[in-house]
Amino acid sequence: MSHLRVALCQLDTVVGEVDGNADRIIDRLARVEAEGADLAAFPELALTGYPPEDLLLKPAFVAHNLAALEKVAAATSSCVALVGFVDVAGDEDLDDAVAHAAGAGTVAREAAIRGAPRRLRNAVAVCVGGGVLGVYHKRRLPNYGVFDEERWFAPGTTDLELYKVAGMPVGVSICEDLWFPGGPIPLQAQGGARLVVNINASPYSIGREADRRAVARARVTESGCAIAYVNQVGGQDELVFDGGSFVMDATGAVLGAAPRFVEASLIVDVPVPSGNVGTSLPVVSVSGAPRDQAGRPPPPAPPALGEEAEVYEALVLGTRDYLRKNGFTDAVIGLSGGVDSSLVATIAVDALGAGHVHGLSMPSRYSSAGSVTDATSLAEHLDIDLRSVPIENVHAVFTSVLADALGEDPTGLTDENLQSRIRGVFLMAVSNARGWIVLTTGNKSELATGYSTLYGDSAGGFAVIKDVPKTLVYRLCRYRNARAGKELVPESVLTKAPSAELRPDQRDDQSLPAYDILDPLLEALVLNDRSIADVVGAGYDPELVVRVAALVDNAEYKRRQSPPGVRITAKAFGKDRRMPITNRYRDPAPETTPAPSGAGSDPAAAGGGDGVLPRA
C-alpha cells in the first residue's frame, strides 16, 4: 500500500522574530524532507509567532511577514510545506498593489499596505517547488478567553479548494475551524478530501489535550476523513503551548502523537486510497504519485502525563521561555522557607539550571527558626546560591522615621506591609545590580483574595505560580519530590501551617478560610462564574461564601498591578477575566445571609495585605 508521509512540526516560535521563525521553518523542513516527508505542516502564524497581537497594526510588520513567506517558499522543493502567516487580502486593487510592491521589496510593500484598507487574514500558505501554490484563510475567528482575533482579522470567505499531494486529496484548515460542527472540514471531506491538515496555536490549560482529541474525533465522525493536527509549543508571555500534535485516521484511531511541552517532528505514514478519488471541489495538483517507499512503523506513543506532571511541565516551559525570550539568564527569589517560594525555586532550577537561580533569605523579628532552616535546606537540596540579608535594622529605622510622619508607631497592617515592602526593595535592588529577574511567589488563592502586599511580595518581573491554587502548590511539591526520589522541598515545609510571618504567631487561616475550603469556593466563583446563590445552594456556608466573594471583588485593583505569569487553567487572572476596577455591582446574596463584618471597607477584608479601595 502506498502512503502519504506527513510531518507535523511543532516549533517553539518567537513572536516578532520573523526572520528567525522563517529560518526555523526552513531548517525543520530540510530535516523532515530528508526523512522522506511528502508534506510538512507548521503551526498557526508560525512566521509571526502567536499571538502577534497589535504588532499586526504595524504595516511594516505585516510586510516583513510576507517577505519571509517568499523566503520560505523559495526554499521548498518536492516536500509540500503548510506555513502559517498573515495575509493581506480584500478587493482586487489592494491585492494587485501588494503583489506589485512585492517585486520592489519589503519597504514598497509596507507602503502599499499602509495606503490601503486593512483586511488582514489569518492564513496558511501551500508552498512547494520554490513558490506558493495556494492560500487558505481561517474562517472561524475565536473571540473569547485569551483570544481577540476579531480585533485584527477578517474571516476567510474565498472558495474552498483541495490539494492533491502524492495522490491524496488534502484539505487545509486553521485551529478554530476544527472546533465546531458544520465548518469547512466536513465541506472539504464532502468535496473529496481524504485528509484535512489543521494547523494550530492552541494554548495549554488543564485537561486541554483530552478536549482536542474529543473535538478531532467529532470532526472525523462528521466528515469521514482523517485529520492531522499540528500545534505550537513554547511559552509566550502568560500563555504556554504544549504541542501534542497527532494524526487521527478516518475511524478515529490515533496513528501517531508527538510529545508535549517539547519541540518535535511527528512523522506518520497515512495510507493513500487506491484508485481515483472523486472530488467535487477544485483540486490543485501539488505533487505526483506517492513515492514507492516502505511504510514507516507507527511512532511510539509518548508517555501519558497526570495532572500534576502536565501542570509542572507547563510551569517550567512557561518560565524558561519567558526568561529566555526576554533576555534573562538568571533569576532571584525571596526564600521565606514557605511552600510557595520553595515551589517557585524548584521550577526555576528545572527551567534555568541551578547555577542560574539565586535565593535571598530576609528574616525579620517574626521569622521562625524553622523557616530560616527550611530555606537553607531547600537551597542545599537544589544546589542554589542563598544569601541571608536580615531586615531587622532596616525595619527599625523605617519604624522610627514613620513614627515621626504618623505621630505614632506603625502597627497592625501598616507594620506588616512595611516588612514585605522592605523585602521587595532588597529583591529589586539585587535585580538592578545583577540583571537578574525577580520571580514572585504568590499563588492564585492569594491573588484571588488580595492576600498580598502591593510593592512588597507582589514586586517582581514574573509570577510563576499566579494561576496555581494553594492546594495544587502542595501537590506539585510532592509530585516533584516523588519524581526526584528524594526531598527537594523539605517535608517540614509541607507539614507546617502556612504563614506570612509578619506578626507574632501568625497563620494564614486567621485571615482566610482553610485552603481546602477556600480553593473549591474560588473555583466556583472565579473559574466557573457561579453566583453566590449557586454556591450556597451547593452546600457551602452562606456567610463564608459572601465573605470570599467580597475578597475577590475588592482585590481587582491589586491583580491589575501584578506581573505576568504562567496560565494553567481555563480562566487565569488577566485576559481570561477582565473585570472593571471601578465597579459597584455585587452578586446578590440570599436574603437570610448577613454581610461579612467590614466587607468592602475594613483593610483586614483584603486578607492581610493592603487595604481595599473604598466602596460606597
Instruction: Please report the pLDDT score of residue 604 as a whole number.
Output: 34
Instruction: Please report the pLDDT score of residue 612 as a whole number.
Output: 35
List Cβ neighbours of 191 (8 Å cut-off, separation of 6 or more).
160, 162, 171, 279, 280, 281
Q: Which three cell numbers stand for residue 338?
A: 514557605
Catalytic-role residue among 175, 444, 466, 571: 175
Q: What type of residue is 303?
A: P
Tell me which residue of 275, 274, 260, 230 sits closest to 248, measured CA to CA: 230
Residue 125 pairs in a beta bridge with 83, 135
* Weakly modelled stretches of the chain, pLDDT under 70: 1, 90-106, 108-109, 111-118, 274-277, 289-294, 501, 592-616
Model confidence pLDDT, tens digit, residues 282-300: 888 887 766 656 677 888 8
List Cβ neighbours of 481 (8 Å cut-off, separation of 6 or more).
487, 488, 489
Which residue is listed with cell 516502505? 294
CB 233 within 8 A of CB 262: yes
DSSP class per residue in 190-258: HTT-SEEEEE---B--TTHHHHHHHHHHHHHHHH-SEEEEE--EEEETTEEEEB--EEE-TTS-EEEEP
Annotated active-site residue 175? The verdict is: yes
Instruction: Please report the pLDDT score of residue 597 as a whole number.
Output: 46
Q: What type of residue is 347?
A: I
Instruction: Please report the pLDDT score of residue 98 as a whole number.
Output: 59
Axis crossing angle, helix 392-406 with helix 412-434, rounded to the nearest 10: 130
Cα separations (Å) of 96 from 349, 382, 565? 53, 60, 43
CA atoms within 13 A on the CB side of 345: 34
Instruction: Please report the pLDDT score of residue 23 as a whole number.
Output: 97
Which residue is listed with cell 475588592? 554
**3-state secondary structure at position 360:** strand
Cα separations (Å) of 66 from 22, 125, 156, 223, 363? 11, 11, 18, 33, 55
**3-state secondary structure at position 452:** coil
The dihedral built from the CA positions of residue 54, 58, 59 and 64, taken in this order, carries a sign that is negative
CA 590 – CA 535 distance, rounded (Å): 11
CB 483 within 8 A of CB 489: no
> Which of these CATH numbers, 3.40.50.620, 3.40.50.720, 3.40.50.1000, 1.20.120.1200, describes 308-606?
3.40.50.620
Q: What share of the chain is helix, strand, coil (3-state, %, to 5)?
A: 40, 20, 45
Catalytic-role residue among 138, 164, 325, 470: 138
List Cβ neighbours of 12 (8 Å cut-off, separation of 6 or more).
232, 233, 234, 263, 321
CA 313 – CA 240 distance, rounded (Å): 10
The DSSP 8-state label assigned to residue 16 in this structure reads: T
Q: Count of H helices and E strands in the chain?
A: 19, 20
Given the DSSP bridges, would you call strands 437-440 and 462-463 parallel, antiparallel or unpaired? parallel
Q: Which three cell numbers stand for residue 116?
A: 490601503
CATH node for 3-286: 3.60.110.10
What are the residue boundaries of the structural domains of the chain, listed by start? 3-286, 308-606
Catalytic-role residue among 33, 44, 416, 446: 44
CB 21 within 8 A of CB 45: no
Instruction: Please report the pLDDT score of residue 589 as a whole number.
Output: 78
Annotated active-site residue 138? The verdict is: yes
